[in-house]
């Protein structure tokens, strides 16, 4: 990745200062005493005693209903008793290991079951490939039962039954079997838990539509147009162009029901303790199938309060805190991953506090968007600032880092800072969208807009990592030189992601450079949703090419495996490392310094179309972690879109 100016050289890297953090994704426990009923009861009692007072305080503060709290406690014991002994032992091992999800050997992959392997059984069959990718954390995109009409499933986020797998993908038994096989291989499973709403075909919704008061109280029904107008005034719309408004009229009831996302997704009323209890039972049921990481979808939206913007309210944190304690009582081996797509100042509170934690992990959303902003502008100043903000947070805060995911890219950048550099929000967003569509001179990116608003000009962007890096364009044009640069850019961005503290996750297909899939336009149920451009079926022909010397797939796959192996073996990538950026007078250079023990890593990234010569802080012996060589180094030569990992 870089050519070093050197005077002496040795073949072996310097020895690490301390042993690397290689805690397994599914830690093996010490020989444990047999999980008898008496021992299990004692474990549950101890955990309940640890959390009961706070849990009751928060529950009563929210609901003031002792009977429902007593029912909840009985439910926790019931789900604990139903939890498989193997999972209970895994819980004990993970409790002993501590924050197992922070280990440097963790690497995730996000995938749609049907796109990757057809069914849950297909995923199980392809576990050897997942292992070959170095992956030990699989995020299975929504797989619970949804309306048969795919145009009303929202990609699986309109759940009709929280305890039934979409029949096209398999059964709940298939899921539990997959989890068991994954655990045997040291692989963890993640799933989406949609707490904010249900499908309008969920049993609760059907009974509410029939006029049953008990079930109507689980949603928000309104006749008063004044209330609807107040809500519309104060609450931003989620999808103003594809699903405008906040309520959907039901003629059979002559009332409106709250639908913040889509008309077929009815928002749940967490003011009703029955909703909270039942959703916690669903959460525990899914955890008992062997799920290790529960991704809480749309966390900030859960609590609604008239007169507010219905985002990030205090009650949301109360609910997440109670959910954290409920997990620690019944299934402490699981991890809560919060989906909070907001600025860092609004994201960080969802970690809670050291004394009262909430989510174990959160998405590093702003850094992802700022990374692509840096690609388009060749200006790393904002990314440097964003990296410093994240690094200034407590080290116990664990972020999930990614380049691309199932969703679009929203340009939620720090426009206050950008404006001081002459970049106004509206024209800058327009520039980014033009650049990544390939409309700007010099752009090699290809992709499409999502949810474009013709009035405001605002839009989001969709594409795969490979297409945004230029691999699609270079392949279409048959330009070998452009392909060389595109591959280098793709690898550099992954190296940057691996340099960040937290858990890195790859979107399925990125490991083989899979490009945009435009065939979604031929499917009437998908044609209006451009996010399907990067949700195409995994191309197993590309996977076959990873053994083909010199192929695009082989070069990307092997490079990522090399980076993953280095990250796993070097203590300087520990979650406990000190991380900061280094000021450098070239705006296109991002320089990150990681220090752990007596070792320091200089990770330097060239966000530029030009080759660069980088001056090290001092001439000294450095190990080029990618090349595996140690030399006396004063400067490092990097090609365009290159990087260097230099360890001292």
* Residues with a known catalytic role: 297, 339
Q: Give the C-alpha separation, 409 to 458, whole Å.
A: 12
Question: SS3 for 180?
Answer: helix
Question: SS3 for 208?
Answer: helix
Q: Give the C-alpha separation, 563 to 503, whole Å.
A: 14
β-strand partners of 56: none
Q: Give the C-alpha separation, 277 to 76, whole Å.
A: 10
Contacts of 191 (CB under 8 A, 6+ apart): 139, 140, 142, 143, 286, 291, 293, 294, 295
Instruction: Look at phi and psi of residue 122 and say left if phi exceeds 0, alpha if psi is from -120 to 50, else beta.
Output: alpha
* Phi, psi (deg, nearest 5) at residue 585: -75, 0
Both tokens assigned to 56: 């009751």
β-strand partners of 161: 145
Q: Cα–Cα–Cα angle for 288, 172, 336, nearest 5°?
A: 40
Contacts of 275 (CB under 8 A, 6+ apart): 218, 268, 269
Strands 503-507 and 108-111: parallel
Strands 398-401 and 503-507: parallel
What is the SS3 string spanning 67-89?
HHHHHHHHHHHHHHHHCCHHHHH
Residue with tokens 């299990």: 40
| Cα→Cα distances 571→99, 136, 137, Å | 16, 19, 21
| Cα→Cα distances 556→455, 466, 489, Å | 41, 10, 10
| 645, 603 contact by CB (below 8 A) | yes
Question: SS3 for 161?
Answer: strand
Contacts of 40 (CB under 8 A, 6+ apart): 80, 81, 88
Classify residue 354 by its DSSP letter: S
Residue with tokens 């929210």: 62
- Note the maximum CA span of the chain: 82
Interaxial angle between packed helices 37-63 and 314-330, expressed in degrees from 0 to 180 and rounded to the nearest 10: 170
Strands 161-165 and 144-145: antiparallel
| 609, 640 contact by CB (below 8 A) | yes
Per-residue burial over 324-351, b = 16 or more CB atoms within 10 Å of its CB, e = otherwise: bbbbbbbbbbbbbbbbbbbebeebbbbb
């Amino acid at each position: 990745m870089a050519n070093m100016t050197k005077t002496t050289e040795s073949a072996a890297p310097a020895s690490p200062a301390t042993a690397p953090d290689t805690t397994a994704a599914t830690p093996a426990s010490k020989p444990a005493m047999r999980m008898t009923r008496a021992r299990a009861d004692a474990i549950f009692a101890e955990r309940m005693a640890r959390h009961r007072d706070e849990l009751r305080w928060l529950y009563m503060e929210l609901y003031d209903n002792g009977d429902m709290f007593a029912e909840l406690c009985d439910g926790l014991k019931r789900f604990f008793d139903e939890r498989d002994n193997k999972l209970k032992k895994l819980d004990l091992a993970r409790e002993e290991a501590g924050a197992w999800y922070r280990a440097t050997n963790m690497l995730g992959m996000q995938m749609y079951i049907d796109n990757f392997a057809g069914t849950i059984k297909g995923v199980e069959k392809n576990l050897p490939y997942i292992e070959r990718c170095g992956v030990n954390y699989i995020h299975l995109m929504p797989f619970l039962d949804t309306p048969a009409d795919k145009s009303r499933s929202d990609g699986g986020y309109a759940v009709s039954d929280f305890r039934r797998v979409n029949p096209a993908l398999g059964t709940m038994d298939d899921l539990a079997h997959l989890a068991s096989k994954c655990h045997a291989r040291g692989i963890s499973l993640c799933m989406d838990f949609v707490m904010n709403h249900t499908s309008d075909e969920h049993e609760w919704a059907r009974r509410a539509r029939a006029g049953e008061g008990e079930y109507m109280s689980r949603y928000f029904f309104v006749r008063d147009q004044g209330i609807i107008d107040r809500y519309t005034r104060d609450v931003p719309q989620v999808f103003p162009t594809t699903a405008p408004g906040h309520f959907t009229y039901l003629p059979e009831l002559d009332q409106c029901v709250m639908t913040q996302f889509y008309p077929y997704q009815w928002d749940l009323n967490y003011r009703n303790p029955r909703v909270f209890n039942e959703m916690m039972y669903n959460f525990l049921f899914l955890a008992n199938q062997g799920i290790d990481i529960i991704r809480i979808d749309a966390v900030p939206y859960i609590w609604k309060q008239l007169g507010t913007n219905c985002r990030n309210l205090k009650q949301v944190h109360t609910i997440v805190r109670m959910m954290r304690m409920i997990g620690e009582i019944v299934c402490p081996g699981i991890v809560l991953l919060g989906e909070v797509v907001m600025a860092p100042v609004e994201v960080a509170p969802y970690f809670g506090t050291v004394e009262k934690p909430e989510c174990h992990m959160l998405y590093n959303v702003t850094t992802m968007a700022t990374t692509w902003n840096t690609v388009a502008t060749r200006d790393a100043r904002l990314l440097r600032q964003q990296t410093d903000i994240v690094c200034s947070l407590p080290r116990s805060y664990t972020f999930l880092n990614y380049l691309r995911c199932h969703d679009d890219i929203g340009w939620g950048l720090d426009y206050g800072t950008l404006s001081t550099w002459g970049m106004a929000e509206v024209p800058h967003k327009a520039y980014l969208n033009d650049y990544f569509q390939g409309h700007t001179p010099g752009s090699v990116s290809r992709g499409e807009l999502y949810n474009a608003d013709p009035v405001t000009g605002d839009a989001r962007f969709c594409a795969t990592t490979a297409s945004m890096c230029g691999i699609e364009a270079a392949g279409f044009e048959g330009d070998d030189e452009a392909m060389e640069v595109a591959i280098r850019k793709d690898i550099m961005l992954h190296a940057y992601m691996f340099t960040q503290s937290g858990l890195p996750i790859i979107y399925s297909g990125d490991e083989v450079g899979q490009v945009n899939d435009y065939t979604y336009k031929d499917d009437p149920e998908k044609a209006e949703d451009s996010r399907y451009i990067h949700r195409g079926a995994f191309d197993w022909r590309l996977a076959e090419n990873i053994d083909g010397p010199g192929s695009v797939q082989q070069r990307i796959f092997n490079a990522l495996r090399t980076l993953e192996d280095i990250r796993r073996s070097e203590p300087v990538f520990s979650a406990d490392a000190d991380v900061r950026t280094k000021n450098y007078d070239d705006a296109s250079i991002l320089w990150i310094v990681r220090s752990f023990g007596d070792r320091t890593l200089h990770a330097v990234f060239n966000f530029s179309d030009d080759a660069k010569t980088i001056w090290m802080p001092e001439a000294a012996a450095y190990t080029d972690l990618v090349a595996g060589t140690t030399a006396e180094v004063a400067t490092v030569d990097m090609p365009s879109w290159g990087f260097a990992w230099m360890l001292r």
